[in-house]
Amino acid sequence: MSLDFLTSDGTPGVTRLVSTHLPTRHGDFQLLGYRDATGIDHVALTRGDVSATGGPAPLVRLHSECLTGDALGSYRCDCGEQLDAALQAIAHAGRGVLIYVRGHEGRGIGLMDKLRAYALQDSGVDTVDANTRLGVPVDARDYVQSAQILHELGSTRIRLLSSNPAKQMALEGLDIEVESRMRLNVADRAENSAYLATKRARMNHDSPPDRDAWDLLVDGRLPEGALSPDEEDLVLRYGPLVDGNPALVIAQLGQSLDGFIASRTGDACFVTGEEDRKHLHRLRALVDAVVVGAGTVQADDCQLTVRAVSGQNPVRVVVDPHARIPHTTTVLTDPRSRTFWLVGPDAVVPEEVEPHVSVHRFTEEADFEPASILRFLSGQGFDRVLIEGGGLTVSRFLRAGSLDRLYLTSAPLLVGDGVPGIRFDGTDALSGALSAPIRRFVLGDDVCTEFDFSSMRAATEPTQRAEQQDDTTGQH
């Protein structure tokens, strides 16, 4: 059944024709199909309750149709990367709308004229002058249909994902309150830098802020050129997590020198110091998802967000087979980041949870094994994972051989008795103790030791392959 939305003067606006869902690499979205008064079809992808009035306003992206960038992966513009970044930002926030506006190809001049403008740009004409030479507007778009869709959704107070002030002005003129306008973190490329520079110089688009080494690392890029000593230290420490690592599993744990992460009463505030907590937030900013056990959530009521440094919040993953975490805990009530609640077949969970929370019921005990959890997360599009706590959860992933790197920070404390940190079945002889290439970093009064298990595995794989070949040769 269609739903007509009328404009303020009573004339027909957009009509909602269909509602379904769309699973994507960034998670599930509600997919709504609309037709405007001119007969053009548009879609809106929504996440969470976008009509709710409490809390932060929903993130909204008005994305203009771009065949070359969105479908063909063109680097002449940044449209495809903006589309991907917007879906990722909305998914991480757990609440938002992306309106895919058709009829906006080439800033509204149409596909063929856009390609003709490309041909002129090939000879050195910029994007503004190319449109002028063709006798078409520099920007022919309007956002009436987008405002009507937002009104129909009840999203009249928004945070706009855009570098274009004209979009904000247009929406505000159509009774949409733009609480803030936020730039998507998409870097310029060599192929589109001149095009983007023209939009900033001649079309009033926002210029990107000066980007330091950390911003580039968060983007998955290694900084080039001269660096300050502090930036060199960041690249040395976190560069290996960025360089050529689309899939990565790391763990972090802070403990006393005698191996405890909390006192006998469970008090863990704070074992390590401020520099180690900042290090932990950097690790969160470099991954897609952060995994914790139910015990950590019960003991600490942790936020698992990025606050000490710049970067996006990872998805929070709580391993809780018996659904024993309190329903008032931060991960279940704070909408700043999505939460995946992994529970067992008989676990009792509330009939309704907050929009940012997804309950995933595992039916087999083996589903909670580290390798199975990582496969599940990879299937959800989360390939870069931080195992944060507590000691039992980190130890399980270590024991399973699932970690690429482990960051173990030792604080100058002797607790004597308490909640243990790393624990696993050892060997009778020290020669069989678990080892790997290490690096050490001083973090204030604490010392962080990084174990690189991926390098150890890479070193043993050629030997294992050679032994397998020898065995096969001997069988013939």
Is 77 annotated for ligand binding?
Answer: yes
Residues 6 or more apart from 188 whose CB is under 8 A from it?
78, 196, 208
Q: How far apart are CA 368 and CA 321, in angstroms?
A: 8
Backbone angles phi, psi at 389, to 5 degrees: 165, 175
105 is in an annotated binding site: yes
Answer yes or no: is 269 a known binding residue: no
Half-sphere exposure of 145 (CA within 13 A, CB side): 26
369 is in an annotated binding site: no
- Determine the Cα–Cα distance for residues 139 and 142; give it in Å rounded to an integer: 9
Residue 200 annotated in ligand binding: no
106 is in an annotated binding site: yes
To the question of whether residue 324 is assigned a binding role by annotation, the answer is no
Q: Is 139 an annotated catalytic residue?
A: yes
Of 288, 300, 298, 353, the closest CA to residue 320 belongs to 298
Which member of 16, 116, 141, 159 is catalytic?
141
**Do 217 and 238 contact (CB within 8 A), yes or no?**
yes
Confirm whether residue 64 is marked as ligand binding. yes
- Out of 113, 126, 139, 288, the active site residue is 139
141 given a catalytic annotation: yes
Residue 8 annotated as part of some ligand binding site: no
Residues annotated within the binding site are 61-66, 77, 79, 82, 105-107, 127, 162, 167
What residues are annotated to the active site? Answer: 139, 141
Query: Which residues sit in the known binding site for Zn(2+)?
Result: 66, 77, 79
Binding residues for GTP: 61-65, 82, 105-107, 127, 162, 167
